[in-house]
Structure formats: structure tokens, C-alpha cells
Amino acid sequence: MAGIEHIKVEPDEDGMRLDRWFKVHFPGLGFGQLQKLMRSGQVRVDGGRVKTDARVQPGQMVRVPPLDVDAKGPRNGPIAGKELKHSGDAELLARMLLHEDDKVYVLNKPAGLAVQGGSGVSRHIDKMLEAWTSQKGEKPRLVHRLDRDTSGVLVVARTRGAAQKLTAAFRERDTKKTYWSLVKGVPRKHEDKISTWLVKETTPDGDRMRIAKHGEEGADHAVSYYRVVETAAQRLAWLEMEPYTGRTHQLRIHALHIGHPIIGDPKYFEDDPNWDFPGGVQKRLHLHARHIDIPHPNGGRLRVTAPLPPHMVQTWNLLGFDEASAGEPDDE
């Protein structure tokens, strides 16, 4: 059992409820235990008594009394930016782990961490997976991708056979991927299908996608579906999005195509002098791979949901969005 600790609230934790903050830092601490500690004044923030629903702010110091919980093993919960640079590969992967069995890992990829290497990429999941090489010398394999700035569900195969089956499921579109996004404005249609042709072009800022002209060489057909879950003063909308096809930047370019780019998108969000970026919302991509439903290599279906990243939790809190409004799919 450790002694009294004073833990500083990180920038990524801004606006987080105190009970959620404790769940992240001390996953073994029960809610009833936490309430008892707070009622007796043993938990304090900047020296003062607080309630479990208090919102923490960066720089605040949380007093944590000795806790009779198992502190062994990796921490759970959101991964701060500095941890992406300084934590070991195995530790970070364990922090991301949502599901594990003999054939599959499912990770909750943090925003800002690349899935594969490329120019200017010093750390990426494909390389990190070497830390989980099996005793037989088999390194886990990627079977699909997420953009670097997109967070959420990432499926990884543990064996060659599992990789073949999972890759086939993606190729044959026998998977259902659900994303949550925050977009500028509110689409006129509450739900709709978006169908376009996309083509990749090279720009000084790197590759980006654009809507292709009719019959343009090299273009790929892309289909997405969306529905509006909640809105904020007709200025912002929370969309649930499903890509039927799996093209590069598909949801991001489709959101732009319908006139409602995703908030914080560094490539596709276009500044508008007549529209003010909402205060308190971080200028980071608000796109999260929330849920996946995929055939399991052993049979049956694997269904996994990933918690929102800290910057989106902060925005949802700010706008008063209730995660339950989307209607959660059933997990495994």
C-alpha cells in the first residue's frame, strides 16, 4: 500500500469528472470506496473538499490517500501525449488493450499515434507490436488502418491464419465499423447516404483526397452513411458515421463534401471568417472509431467498443452531449 500521493492533473484530462479521473488512474478502486474517501475529506483537490462530479482542470493537484488496491500492472485509461514519447512499447500497448484472446487483440488507438511508418513518423503501432512477438517468433499483424489523428478501435491478428480471415472480412465488407464525429453546422438531412468517387492528389502538405470528376483515372468509389445523434445550438452536430467502403480519409472528405467538415481536421477543415471556432474545444480531429462488429476467426462475431479520447470527452462534457444518446451496441 503506497503512502499519500499528490498527482497533477494533465492537460489531456481537462474537464474530466473526478470519479472518471480516479477510474483512469486507479482502476481497482470501487465507486463506493471513492465516495467514502471523499466524504471523510481524504481526497482533496488543491487542498479543498470536492464531490465526485467535480470537473478537474490542468495543473490542479489531487490528494490521494493510501489506497488498498492492487497498483500492479499497467495503468488503464487515456494516454497523455508525453506518455506516447516516453513509455515503453509493451506498456503502451497494454494500456490500449480492449480485448484479447488466442487469435485477436483489439486496441484503442490514441489520437496522434501512427499505425504504420512513413515520413516524419518516429513511432508507430506496427513497429511497437514487435514487443508482443510470441514465443514462436510470430509478431502480431495489422489487418486494417486508422489515420494518425483518428482514435479508436484497431483490430490486430495474433497469428497468420487469423490475419488471413480478418483481412478477408474487411475486403468482403463483412464488418461494421461505427465512428463518432463532431462536425461544423448541422446537416439538413437527419440521416443520409454519401456516394462519391475519390482520387488521391499530392500537395505540399502531403497526400490528400478530393472528389473525383466523372470518369477520372485512378478514382475509387466511396460510400458512407451518417445520422445526426445530437446538436449544439445548430452550430455543431454529433454524427454517427459508417464507412461502407474503406478509402483513405473517406469519412473526413465525405463530411467536407456535404458541407459539414469534422472539427479540428488539419487537412479538410476550412476556416470561415463568418464562423467562430467554439471556445473550450481543442483544435484536434474529432473523429473516433467507436465500435466494430467483425467475424471472429474462431467463429461467431467479435463486437468491441472504444471509450472516447480525452479531447472528445472534454468536448462532449462542454456541449452537454450524453454518450447514451447514440444507443450503445452490444459488446462481446
Q: Which residues pair with 200 in a beta bridge?
A: 209
Task: Return the sign of the alpha-carbon dihedral for residues 241, 144, 158, 116.
Answer: negative
Signed CA dihedral, 50, 54, 57, 62: sign only: positive
Query: How many whole angstroms separate alpha carbon 40 and alpha carbon 34?
Result: 10
* Torsion angle, alpha carbons of 229, 95, 56, 17, to 10: 50
| Catalytic status, residue 147 | yes
Q: Of the listed 12, 14, 147, 149, which one is catalytic? A: 147
Q: Where are the beta strands (DSSP E) in the chain?
A: 5-8, 44-45, 48-49, 61-64, 97-100, 104-109, 141-142, 151-157, 176-184, 191-203, 206-211, 220-232, 236-243, 287-295, 301-305
Q: At what angle do helices 18-25 and 31-39 cross, to 10 degrees?
A: 120
Residues labelled as active-site residues: 147
